């Protein structure tokens, strides 16, 4: 079975000039939202030639070789369905997204960092269940203590979100760059971009 890797969306791939292709699953939903499933155009064209994907939409730009000319695909769909994972990857972005980009102690949206609720020194792990979004001030104030020791109250206890929950959150936080041909295939409210 053809199992596509989802790249970690390096900044270069999100740049319009790099012509990334949005990858849809065989049911025409994005293969992944966080990170958004994108491939470099080279990978997309290779998959087309391997008959692994269908081209749904294309960029205006084309690539040329001595033997062929091809519009660069902007949206492609896998021919074989890949079961999406129930839980999203534990990444910085996803953690901020879970916490709506707000400090879970005071609600501030500035100078955000991560806080180990149970400090590492006291055996707290780096996991969905023990890391929360905190502003720098709250982080410094809390220091190497538990919330109880520091007399600080968490708004929400950290938990591992499902992919579905994170997608719901993501409606309010669309990525910076979306090619127009992707709009029909994405879940979030595009009018926020206007």
Query: Which residues contact Zn ion by CB under 5 A?
Result: 103, 105-106, 108, 135, 138
Residue 9 or 132: the one with the smaller Cβ distance to Zn ion is 132
What's the min distance (Å) between Cβ of 133 and Zn ion?
A: 9
Beta sheet of 53-64, edge-to-edge order? 38-39, 21-24, 69-78, 53-64
Query: HSE on the CB side for 158, CA within 13 Å?
Result: 26
Residue 97 or 103: the one with the smaller Cβ distance to Zn ion is 103
Residue 91 or 111: the one with the smaller Cβ distance to Zn ion is 111
What's the min distance (Å) between Cβ of 106 and Zn ion?
A: 3
What's the min distance (Å) between Cβ of 6 and Zn ion?
A: 32
What's the min distance (Å) between Cβ of 103 and Zn ion?
A: 3
Residue 45 or 152: the one with the smaller Cβ distance to Zn ion is 152
Helices (H), the chain: 11-14, 41-49, 92-98, 136-142, 147-150, 163-170
Question: With the C-alpha atoms ordered 111, 113, 119, 120, is the resulting torsion angle positive or negative?
Answer: negative
């Amino acid at each position: 079975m053809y199992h596509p890797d989802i790249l970690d969306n390096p900044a270069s791939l999100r740049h319009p000039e790099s012509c990334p292709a949005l990858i849809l699953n065989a049911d025409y939903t994005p293969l992944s939202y966080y990170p958004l499933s994108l491939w470099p155009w080279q990978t997309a064209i290779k998959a087309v030639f391997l008959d692994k994907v269908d081209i749904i939409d294309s960029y205006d730009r084309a690539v040329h070789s001595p033997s062929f000319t091809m519009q660069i695909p902007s949206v492609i769909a896998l021919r074989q369905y890949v079961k999406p994972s129930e839980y999203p990857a534990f990444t910085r972005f996803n953690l901020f997204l879970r916490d709506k980009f707000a400090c879970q102690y005071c609600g501030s949206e500035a100078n955000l960092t991560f806080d180990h609720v149970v400090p590492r020194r006291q055996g707290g792990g780096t996991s969905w269940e023990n890391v929360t979004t905190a502003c720098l001030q709250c982080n410094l104030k809390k220091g190497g203590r538990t919330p109880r020791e520091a007399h600080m109250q968490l708004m929400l206890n950290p938990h591992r979100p499902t992919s579905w929950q994170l997608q719901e959150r993501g409606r309010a936080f669309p990525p910076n760059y979306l090619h127009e041909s992707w709009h029909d295939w994405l879940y979030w409210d595009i009018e926020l971009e206007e």
